[in-house]
Amino acid sequence: MDKKLRKKSAALARSSSLASLQKIMKTLLAPGGCPWDRRQTHSTLVKYLHEESGEVGRAVRKKDWDNLREELGDVLLQVVFHSALAERDGRFTLRDVIRGINSKMVRRHPHVFGGGGKLSTPAQVLKQWAVIKKGEKARRK
């Protein structure tokens, strides 16, 4: 590996930006990238998403915060990986995923972001969430 590439790779490895993670994933999926990553599909990756989610649960139950940080990174990698595959296939991008969840969180929290009365208990919030979700699903049909 040449000196320039090593320096660039070291900078990516130290980065805490989502853009750097996306760049790493794009490099892995590019021609000349990682043969294993390049062969993956949404279907082949599902087992890893389940696995990583289970590891998050175990870290939470153990209150192992260092491990939780690592496992959340692994779950984030799965989101970025699936999004990169979708973008490669012209379906959607990570930006679309983020825009969608931002919109959903604001929509489903009108008691915080306006347009809905104040709620004072978690039970009220869950009930409102279910009503809003049901309405969204009905409109999509």
Express each pLDDT in 109-137 by its tens digit: 998 998 777 888 999 999 999 999 999 98
Average pLDDT on 30-48 reads 97
Tens digits of residue pLDDT in 69-87 = 999 999 999 999 999 999 9
Residues 102, 84: Cα–Cα separation, whole Å: 19
Average pLDDT on 89-109 reads 96
Residue 35 lies in a domain: yes
| End-to-end CA separation in angstroms for the chain | 53
Residue 66 lies in a domain: yes
Whether the Cβ atoms of residue 53 and residue 61 lie closer than 8 Å to each other: no
Residue scoring higher pLDDT (38 or 120): 38
> Are 117 and 53 found together in one domain?
no
Asked whether the predicted pLDDT for residue 56 surpasses 80, the reply is yes
Residues 79, 89: Cα–Cα separation, whole Å: 15
Average pLDDT, the chain: 94
Give long-range contacts, CB 8 A cutoff, 24+ apart: 55-64.
none
Query: pLDDT band for position 57 (50/70/90)?
Result: very high
Model confidence, pTM: 0.89
Asked whether the predicted pLDDT for residue 43 surpasses 90, the reply is yes
- Give the number of domains in the chain: 2
Asked whether the predicted pLDDT for residue 23 surpasses 70, the reply is yes
> Are 22 and 66 found together in one domain?
yes
Domain that holds residue 129: 106-141
Residue 73 lies in a domain: yes
* Token pair in block for residue 99: 């825009």
The burial of 8, by beta-carbon neighbours within 10 Å (0-12 exposed, 13-18 middle, 19 or more buried), is given as middle
